[in-house]
A and B are shown apart, each in its own frame.
Chain A
Amino acid sequence: DGGITQSPKYLFRKEGQNVTLSCEQNLNHDAMYWYRQDPGQGLRLIYYSQIVNDFQKGDIAEGYSVSREKKESFPLTVTSAQKNPTAFYLCASSIAGRTGPYNEQFFGPGTRLTVL
């Protein structure tokens, strides 16, 4: 059963803590993405990776970090530098990083992060 998994489903963070969100895919996709979703706003791109050991900042990368050591895994760390981290975080993947025909993004179920 191919797909994208994210864990945990819910995560609570105390002020000043770093937390890491997991994203795994078994679709053999080269590209992976992290988005943040806030009420009333579209998905905002945090980081993306087109290939293993390479990643680029998206529109709102400040306070976040990523790694891409394996093709199937793209974890996101929310650091204490992120001032307003409470949001719904979505991981996605696509066959390749370049947009084009039949290169749509597929999403995981999301992680809801709440700062206490």
Chain B
Amino acid sequence: QKEVEQDPGPLSVPEGAIVSLNCTYSNSAFQYFMWYRQYSRKGPELLMYTYSSGNKEDGRFTAQVDKSSKYISLFIRDSQPSDSATYLCAMSAEGFKTIFGAGTRLFVKA
């Protein structure tokens, strides 16, 4: 079993939809959680960074962490065609390396 599981998709939604992207993990020591966005043939860029459980909001993006269920989510409101990309979750424990999910490909249709 992988330490971090992420559905590769692809996920296709109409413009304006609410998108939900998710990851599950097995290591209860993880406490730093990140979401990266990666456009085709580009490097990943950090979208959201959260510590421990709870929600964090930044514009149209909300990151949610449920440590009791070992489950993290990224919500995108009012999705736009420019949101079409691969979204990678990543997580780490204190002092240890960062583990990345395989990424979910998202397509937002105009």
Do A and B assemble together? yes
Residues in B whose Cβ lies below 8 Å from that of A107: 36, 43-45
B42, closest chain A residue (CB): A109
Interface stretch (choices B13-21, B59-67, B93-101): B93-101
Interface on A for B, CB 8 Å cutoff?
4, 6, 35, 40-43, 45, 48, 58, 88, 90, 92, 98-102, 104-110, 112
Q: Would you call the interface of chain A mostly helix, strand, loop, or mixed?
A: loop
Residues in B whose Cβ lies below 8 Å from that of A40: 8, 102
In-complex Cβ contact of B32 among A48, A92, A100 (8 A): A100
Residue in A42, A48, A98 with the greatest tally of chain B CB atoms within 10 Å = A42
| Number of interchain pairs (Cβ within 8 Å) | 58
CB pair A42–B102 under 8 Å, yes or no, is yes
CB pair B96–A112 under 8 Å, yes or no, is no
Q: Would you call the interface of chain B mostly helix, strand, loop, or mixed?
A: loop
Asked if A104 meets B103 with Cβ closer than 8 Å, knowing A99-B96, A110-B41, A110-B43, the reply is: no
Beyond A40-B8, A42-B2, A99-B32, 8 additional contacts (C-beta under 8 Å) are A40-B102, A42-B99, A42-B103, A45-B97, A100-B32, A101-B32, A107-B45, A112-B41
